[in-house]
Amino acid sequence: MKLISVKNGSKKTKIIVISVAVAVAVAIIALAFWIIGAFSSEDVGNISKAAATDKNDKVVVTDEIPETPDKAILDEAKMLFVSYDYEKALELISSLDTEEATALKAEIEAEVATLAPADNYAIPHIFFHSLIADTSKAFDGDYKEAGYNQVMTTISEFNEILAEMYEKGFVLVSIHDIAGVNEDGTTYEKEILLPPGKKPFVLSVDDVNYYEYMEGDGFASRIVIGEDGKPTCEMKLDDGTITTGDFDVVPLLDAFIEEHPEFSYRGAKGILALTGYEGVLGYRTCPSYSDEPTYAADIESAKAVAQNLKDNGWEFASHSWGHRDMSKMSFENFKIDTNRWEDEVEPIIGTTDVILYPFGSDIGSWKGYKEDNEKFNYLKKVGFNYFCNVDGNRAWLQIGKNYVRQGRRNLDGYKMYYDMINPNKDWLSDLIDVEKVFDKSRPTPVPPM
């Protein structure tokens, strides 16, 4: 889209520049003749000829600039329209004067007339951990099986969740679409306009670090840039060979949105929450690995992958450096942990203003962050504006004077199993049909928390 408007712009600019140049040239020649006092009719004729030649040149030059194909503009406008960016879509086709463009304009305007603002306070924020790609390895009876069974989600469950939420009319939005931050740090609510039947939601993934303990347990091992230039995952097989594919949330959601662009509001993807103590995204970028031969290369690769993820609509969040309980730790340790995250993770992923508390453990009560909350003040000072806890069963949003807080809902084995076996519990029916989603390869009962 940007490219097209730039082309249009430069074409216009070029014509103006040429016209001005012609005028200036004519004026200079005229001035020259006037000065030498040689204003014969023949010379006037010459001037006219020069101008005409210039005029002809102008036409030739203009023709050399290839016309932006109307179809490309129309396709781009259609894509903006499907992803709810009505204003930009209309702006883009305003330059077209074809039957198709007129029809599309009418279609967009008809949908715009039906739009209604979402209730931002009712927007669910769902979250996952790295997905279990191979259930036989995660559920192999070792000491880690219970934990995986409780807090992880399998790939088949994730795919079914996306399909069901899509069917129910859910549309993925960014947390930054819900509220904004002014230059002075104060916050304000934003308006999300959607057609009838569409409901916004936010998605995040915790601990996208591919920790060492997960190796051999059926998870992806890191995020890489695929041959098509888009983010994908690597996974280590039993024989040590490495295979690339859709083994986690990022490539699976990307593929789903590519197929169903109306599932994403203006290109929104999820938030990837990172700790720092074992590096990020499967790269051992933490200074404790600085003796490893792969250390420098890992930092460079992680930076490239992080940029690639951002280019594809993904956002990042802090999950604290050491996966600490931020409400319980002392203020001194809190500062050390926060500084480490800022010093080690931000240089790789860039700045972020979102923090997703480990264990959902918030640093203030539901009533709001008070002005004397030193932990909040510290996080705000280093640049955080969006603060997420875990509020398992409902949507929760708080827009304070200078912060935005949102509760998140876990869609994991524990939540799904206890919702499913307990007829009195109705934790998830607004999002999914848990009977259909729950992966039958899970050992049951899922251990209680």
Nearer to Zn ion, 231 or 358 (CB): 358
Q: What is the DSSP letter of 447?
A: P
The footprint of Zn ion on this chain (CB under 5 A) covers a number of residues equal to: 3
Distances (CA, A) of 12 to 7, 26, 283: 9, 21, 47
CB-nearer residue toward Zn ion: 270 or 358: 358
- Of the pair 211, 378, the CB lying nearest Zn ion is at 211
Give me the least distance between CB of 73 and Zn ion, in Å please: 44
Query: At residue 97, what is the residue type?
Result: D
CB of 163 to Zn ion, least distance (A): 26
Minimum distance of Zn ion from residue 132's CB (angstroms): 16
Closer Cβ to Zn ion, 276 or 358, answer by number:
358
Distance CA(122)–CA(396), nearest Å, equals: 7
Q: Which is nearer to Zn ion, 104 or 286 (CB)?
A: 286
Residues 277 and 324 sit within 8 Å (Cβ to Cβ): no
Closest to Zn ion by CB, 263 or 357: 357
Considering only 19-27, 75-83, 351-359, 421-429, which stretch makes contact with Zn ion by CB under 5 A?
A: 351-359
Q: Are strands 271-274 and 242-245 parallel, antiparallel or unpaired?
A: unpaired
User: Given the DSSP bridges, would you call strands 231-236 and 170-172 parallel, antiparallel or unpaired?
Assistant: unpaired
Query: Residue 263 CB, nearest distance to Zn ion (Å)?
Result: 26
Here's the x/- map for Zn ion, 118-137, by CB under 5 A: it reads as --------------------
Separation of alpha carbons 385 and 376, rounded Å: 10
| CB nearer to Zn ion: pick between 77 and 175 | 175
Q: Of the two residues 85 and 206, which places its CB atom closer to Zn ion in the complex? A: 206
HSE-CB of 92 using CA atoms within 13 angstroms: 26
Q: Please state the closest distance from residue 204 (CB atom) to Zn ion, in A.
A: 11
Contact mark string toward Zn ion, 160..199, x via CB under 5 A: ----------------------------------------
Q: How far is the CB of 319 from Zn ion (least distance, A)?
A: 6
Answer for the pair 322, 360: CB distance below 8 angstroms, yes or no.
no
Q: Beta strand pairing status for 116-117 and 193-194?
A: antiparallel
Q: Taking contact as CB under 5 A, which single stretch among the options 98-106, 156-164, 342-350, 354-362 is the one that binds Zn ion?
A: 354-362
For Zn ion, give the closer residue by CB, 285 or 320. 320
DSSP helix/strand/coil, 157:
helix
Q: Which of 362, 378, 369 is nearest to 403 (CA)?
A: 369
Give the residues across from 141 on adjacent strands.
none
E strand or H helix that includes residue 70: helix 70-82
Q: Does 358 bind Zn ion (CB under 5 A)?
A: yes
Angle made by CA atoms 399, 360, 440, in degrees to the nearest 5: 120
Contact call for residue 362 and Zn ion (CB under 5 A): no
- Compute φ and ψ for 404, nearest 5 degrees: -125, 125
DSSP letter (8 states) at residue 35: H
Smallest distance from Zn ion to CB 206, Å: 4
Which residue, 160 or 207, has its beta carbon nearer to Zn ion? 207
Minimum CB separation from Zn ion for residue 340, in Å? 16
3-state secondary structure (DSSP) of residue 193: strand
Which residue in 375, 392, 383 sits closest to 353, CA to CA? Answer: 383
Residue 438 identity:
F
Distances (CA, A) of 445 to 217, 234, 351, 414: 20, 31, 42, 9
Minimum distance of Zn ion from residue 364's CB (angstroms): 19
Query: For residue 32, which phi and psi values (nearest 5 degrees)?
Result: -60, -50
CB of 344 to Zn ion, least distance (A): 17
Interaction mask 368-407, Zn ion, x per CB under 5 A:
----------------------------------------
Binding of residue 360 to Zn ion (CB under 5 A)? no
Which of the residues 197 through 236 are near Zn ion (CB under 5 A)?
A: 206-207
From residue 420 to residue 439, what is the string marking binding to Zn ion with x (rule CB under 5 A)? Answer: --------------------
Contact residues: Zn ion, CB under 5 A: 206-207, 358
